[in-house]
């Protein structure tokens, strides 16, 4: 099989992975929005799920300057 044939066979799987990834990202954004809405009165900074090398490692401040006020809470602390 040549490379073009391999690519044509792989494309449908890549497309499905992209679709599922997009669905997950949309759900995660909704969770972050809810988290920020509910916790706004406790923290004066916007929070996000924090990723390193493609892995979610915790929750931290969106803005770099706010990270002194709200340090990263590691995933091991949230289990």
Average pLDDT, the chain: 96
Domain count, the chain: 1
Give the C-alpha separation, 67 to 79, whole Å: 22
Is the per-residue pLDDT at 1 higher than 90?
no
Range of the domain at 10: 3-78
Is the pTM of the predicted complex or chain greater than 0.85? Answer: yes
Q: What is the pLDDT of residues 15-43, one digit of tens each?
A: 999 999 999 999 999 999 999 999 999 99
Tokens coding 72: 């990263």
- DSSP category for residue 59: E
DSSP helix/strand/coil, 79? coil
pLDDT of 78: 97
Lowest mean pLDDT across 21-25, 48-52, 66-70: 66-70
């Amino acid at each position: 099989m040549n490379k073009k044939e391999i690519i044509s066979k792989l494309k449908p799987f890549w497309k499905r992975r992209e679709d599922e990834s997009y669905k997950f990202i949309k759900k995660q954004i909704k969770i972050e929005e809810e988290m920020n809405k509910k916790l706004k009165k406790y923290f004066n900074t916007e929070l996000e799920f924090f990723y390193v090398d493609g892995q979610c490692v915790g929750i931290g401040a969106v803005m770099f300057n706010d990270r002194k006020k709200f340090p990263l809470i590691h995933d091991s602390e949230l289990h």
